[in-house]
Amino acid sequence: MAIPLKKPAEIDKLRAANKIVARTLKYLKDLIKPGMTLLEINKLGEDYIYSHNGAKPAFKGLYGFPAGVCTSLNEVIIHGIPDATVIKEGDILGLDIGVELDGYFGDAAVTVGVGTISKKDEELIACSYDTLMYAIDIIKSGMRFKELSYKIEEFILSRGYVPLRGFCGHGIGKKPHEEPEIPNYLEGNNQKSGPKIKNGMVFCLEPMICQKSPNAKILSDKWSVVSEDGLKGAHYEHCVAIINNRAEILSICEK
């Protein structure tokens, strides 16, 4: 597995793309309210990305995906296609956005409540967010990716949920998806095997949370991913760079 190491100038380029991702997610999060359609949300997101000079929605056309924003509603955990569906009070909505800027990519995701949501859904969303921040906090150079995956899975299980199987975090750079693949669960039996995290690596972590079944099902649109349990799921994602032996979040808004 060849995991590329980025030079400081390249990390600065990735940071710039990811800042636009973060701004776009905040912009949409602040606007979302009952009565909007998923297509309207996608249009707002795409237009906001284009308003940043030279930036493009990275997902639009990627592998054939038709939109700039993945809008994953309720039981759809990832890769939801925007359509004319009207969001309503109590829904939960995942927003996953990629940006290309000057040949470098950014990628992050949030799950938000529409209006007032149930305590159960608040706890589901909190599991995804808390897992992500826990994972970022424990990363250090020399740690193996498999150990990170094991720790992520352990955290999710401790909250009473399960990680979605078959999908994962990933490296990022001049391509939207690079090595390594980073599952939210341990593959195999040995967390002390496989490549180590090193300074200069840049990758995306994205806990995808299911309530009962970890098994994925892809809907008839060939994109939307749900759990076989048919229950709501949640998804959060940040892009991080390993700098001075720790993970720095690139996909974050300035205070």
Domain holding 223: CATH number? 3.90.230.10
Residue 169's nearest CA partner among 223, 104, 219, 236 is 236
* 3 domain residue, yes or no: no
Beta bridge partners of 246: 140, 243
* 197 domain residue, yes or no: yes
In which residue are the tokens 């090193």 written? Answer: 198
* 2 domain residue, yes or no: no
List, for residues 91-127, the tens digit of each pLDDT value.
999 999 999 999 999 999 999 999 999 999 999 999 9
* 157 domain residue, yes or no: yes
* 254 domain residue, yes or no: no
* CB-CB contact of 144 with 198 (8 Å): no
Q: How far apart are CA 135 and CA 132, in angstroms?
A: 5
* 136 domain residue, yes or no: yes
> First and final CA of the chain: distance in angstroms?
37
List, for residues 124-146, the tens digit of each pLDDT value.
999 999 999 999 999 999 999 99
* 195 domain residue, yes or no: yes
* 255 domain residue, yes or no: no
Number of domains in the chain: 1
Its domain, for residue 168, covers 8-249
pTM above 0.95, yes or no: yes
In which residue are the tokens 């592998």 written? Answer: 63
